[in-house]
Amino acid sequence: MDARFDASWWHKFYGIDFDETYVRSEPHHRAILEAKMRRVLYERFGSVGLGDKSSEPVPVISTHMVPLCYLVGEVLGCRAFFAAGSTPCIIPNRLSPAQLEALEPPDVLNTPVMQKLAADMDARERGYGSVIGDLNPQGVLNNAMCVGDAELFVLFLQNPPAACRLLRVVTDTMIQIVRFIRQRTGTSPEAVTNIVEQINPALFVTSNCSTTMISPRTYREFLLEFDQALADALPPFGIHHCGLDLARLASEYRKVRGLEFLEVGWGSDVVAVRRLFPDTHRNVRATRTCAMQRGFYLRDQKPINRSFRETANEDFRGSLK
């Protein structure tokens, strides 16, 4: 079990922000801030295994405390929006159909944001002798929406070749970024879900947050090919699906060869998922929004614990049927 606190929590209680100052700052600043955050978690929640009592700087390329999902979008030419108490948001490029049809892959490693990342890694290795961590690469549909905005869904219906071109550019870009980070730090998905540190730090986990917006047929016709490309290029492979409807897409996810990890959004039918993925490591992903949808709040620890137990028991019973 692991826990992650929202950017608004860090802002409200500790005045820590993950804004443009944090992202563009000198690497040593982030190393010191990471140590402070880990110490905070240890002092408040160390009894349940969170945090680290050490105050030594941590040479991370970016924090895993919150998901900072700006890197792939900026490599693809989008701009990021930063605000105090929030995580970075990518502003969609809103390319026209003609621009999307003519879209070419970027020269990934020579883009300004990747050159800055490489320089930051070099600085950490010089200063600390090592560099650790990764940045959230999101998922194919998430990133494609950053480039094409809602026009992407129109392309699915009216211009499938253009849609596939965009998805292919995004996928190739993601693969290059993740390979680069893996080669330097040894990890790639911990910024997506911290739990992989306890399961298999070598896992690459793609974020399929937005697949809750599409039908199984659309996933099969457009996204399956590219999730498979990620699985082939970046093994061992996992899928994060934070929506409460994973069971709706489970039969399609099952077609992804090499799927070793599946993060199941709280509220999904865990029994149905267990039946389809008996040998895949499954992790239930709960969020504050999920808890509130069930009428729970952070102060109501007992009902939250009870819901977790019920979900675990449902999954166990499903394994017996």
Mean pLDDT in residue range 76-83: 95
pLDDT in tens, 183-223: 999 988 788 888 888 899 899 999 999 999 999 999 999 99
All structural domains of the chain with their residue ranges: 192-321
Question: Angle CA(232)–CA(237)–CA(239) in degrees, nearest 5?
Answer: 120
- Say how far apart CA 119 and CA 174 lie, in whole Å: 20
What is the chain's mean pLDDT, rounded?
88
Q: What is the pLDDT of residue 178?
A: 97
- Say how far apart CA 82 and CA 199 lie, in whole Å: 32
Helix (H) or strand (E) holding 129: none
- Say how far apart CA 175 and CA 108 lie, in whole Å: 10
Return the closest-CA partner of residue 230 out of 100, 138, 104.
138
Q: Which residues contact 272 (CB under 8 A, 6 or more apart)?
A: 247, 250, 318
pTM: 0.89
pLDDT in tens, 229-274: 999 999 999 999 999 999 999 999 999 999 999 999 988 999 999 9
pLDDT in tens, 153-188: 999 999 999 999 999 999 999 999 999 999 999 988
Q: How do strand 204-207 and strand 237-241 relate by DSSP bridges? A: parallel
Burial of 113 (0-12, 13-18, 19+ CB in 10 A): buried
Q: What is the pLDDT of residue 299?
A: 47
Q: What is the pLDDT of residue 191?
A: 83
- Say how far apart CA 264 and CA 243 lie, in whole Å: 8
pLDDT beyond 70 at 281: yes
